[in-house]
Amino acid sequence: MGNYDRIFCYHFGMKTTILAVMALLCSSLAAFAADVTGKWTAEIPGGRGPQATTFTFKADGAKLEGTVANQRGETPITDGKVDGDKISFVQVMNVQGNEMKMTYTGVVKGDSIEITREGGRGPATFTAKKAQ
């Protein structure tokens, strides 16, 4: 085997190794996606005091489905997404014949989610805890 062949084999082997390591890292990152499936409870601040709210989530890859339930009833979420430890979704409610859209973004930290809600009477930030 000449020098050229050895250099070619070395570089080809390095490229193959690098690609294999990159593929392994990418598949590992998917495994680190936050597991939000289940029930989460929160006290959301509001004009009439804190409101007990239950979020029920089902994550399927990057897709997030579920409901938001409080004293006014239960509504489905739409446009739900999971991106690593970040989640986002929309809740559309009918309030006295008017459509109200709430947009939620959150960061999962173990058994809690730090959530910001936009819409309604202004932004609200709160923590949801995993229900036992």
Q: Are residues 112 and 75 in the same domain?
A: yes
CATH code at 90? 2.40.128.20
Q: What is the domain range of residue 44?
A: 38-130
> In 29-72, where do the E strands start and end?
38-44, 51-60, 63-70
Closest to 37 (Cα-Cα) out of 80, 92, 99: 80
Q: Are residues 3 and 49 in the same domain?
A: no
Q: Are residues 63 and 114 in the same domain?
A: yes
Q: Are residues 76 and 112 in the same domain?
A: yes
CA distance 89 to 91: 7
Alpha-carbon 108 to chain mean position: 7
How would you label 52-84 residue by residue, b for 16+ Cβ within 10 Å and e otherwise?
A: ebebbbebeeeebebbbbbeeeeeebeebebee
* Number of separate domains in the chain: 2
CA distance 114 to 101: 20
98-128, pLDDT tens digit by residue? 888 999 999 999 999 999 999 877 789 999 9
Over 60: is that where the pLDDT of 14 sits?
Answer: no
* Cβ 52 vs Cβ 70: under 8 Å: yes
Q: Are residues 67 and 97 in the same domain?
A: yes
87: its two tokens: 């989640």
Q: Are residues 47 and 61 in the same domain?
A: yes
Over 80: is that where the pLDDT of 6 sits?
Answer: no
Q: Are residues 47 and 8 in the same domain?
A: no
CA distance 84 to 33: 4
Q: Rounded to two decimals, what is the model's pTM?
A: 0.73
Q: Are residues 21 and 43 in the same domain?
A: no
42-85, pLDDT tens digit by residue? 999 877 888 999 999 999 999 999 999 998 899 999 999 999 99
Q: Are residues 105 and 61 in the same domain?
A: yes
